[in-house]
Amino acid sequence: MDESPSAYYVHCFAHQLQLTLVAVAKENQDCKWFFEQLGLLLTAIRNSCKRLQLLRAAQAEEVIEALELGEIESGCGLNQEMGLARPADTRWGSHYKTIQHVILMYRSIRRVLQQIRDDAEYKESSKAQIALYSFESFEFVFLAHLLDTILGYTDDLNCALQKRDQDILNAVSLISLTKTQLELLREDDGWEKFLADVTSFCVKRKIVVPKMDYRYNSVGRSKRYYVKLTKLSLFQS
């Protein structure tokens, strides 16, 4: 703009993508509910150094147990400690990272929430109970995996759009590829594989998997939004 006063300023491709994701997410009731629950979860754990220390200890215990069972391998750079950073709307990629960590640290987070809930010394035991109620629901796990998948596709696009040598034709091509990936997720094969992965995750962690042909009962939300809706219809939408 210094060189040409008549030039117009436009956001870079990556920032436009982030602004779009934020706008779409804020209009979706399920996304709003999920991120509200995620906020309660982060508040219950991150607002105390003692609780963060509990999370670190729980992570270490989970790693030891997984190594003993042969579920993970040991080695340089593997099994690094992860944190729970609060996501920011101006950096939509931070939402993806937080959701990834929640999924990977699910057992550890669950264990800490249970400790906070059961310990009368904690002033926020009731908040931990509320967070745990949603955290242990199939709905929360399903949305976590769905957003992890969707944001994973868009994060690849976001990284590609930030390259200095990017041109508009290649950017349009990358957007078309991302849209194709999202559409494949909605097709029968993509949906069935995705649901099988979520179900497997729940079974391993003893989370109740609902019958998909049963009527949907919302977790902590008004039922008037989901009148006579089956669980399969809701999750597929």
DSSP characters for 95-147? HHHHHHHHHHTHHHHHHHHHHHHH-TT-TTHHHHHHHHHHHTSHHHHHHHHHH
- What percent of the chain is modeled with pLDDT above 70? 71
CB 129 within 8 A of CB 117: yes
Cα(39)–Cα(36) distance, integer angstroms = 5
Higher local confidence (pLDDT), 144 or 70: 144
What is the per-residue pLDDT for 145? 93
Q: Alpha helix locations (H) across the chain? A: 13-27, 29-46, 49-69, 93-104, 106-118, 125-135, 138-161, 168-186, 188-204, 231-236
Does a structural domain hold residue 191? yes
Mean pLDDT of 41-59: 80
Does a structural domain hold residue 183? yes
Average pLDDT, the chain: 76
Does a structural domain hold residue 7? no
Single pTM value for the model:
0.76
How many domains does the chain divide into? Answer: 1
Mean pLDDT of 51-55: 81
Confidence of residue 77 (pLDDT cuts 50, 70, 90): very low
Residues forming beta bridges with residue 215, ordered by sequence position:
230
Does a structural domain hold residue 2? no
Structural domain that includes position 226? 13-236
Does a structural domain hold residue 222? yes
Higher local confidence (pLDDT), 105 or 69: 105
Cα(14)–Cα(163) distance, integer angstroms = 10
pLDDT at residue 69 above 60? no
What is the per-residue pLDDT for 75? 45
Does a structural domain hold residue 6? no
Does a structural domain hold residue 219? yes
Does a structural domain hold residue 220? yes
Tens of pLDDT, residues 11-30: 677 777 777 877 887 788 88
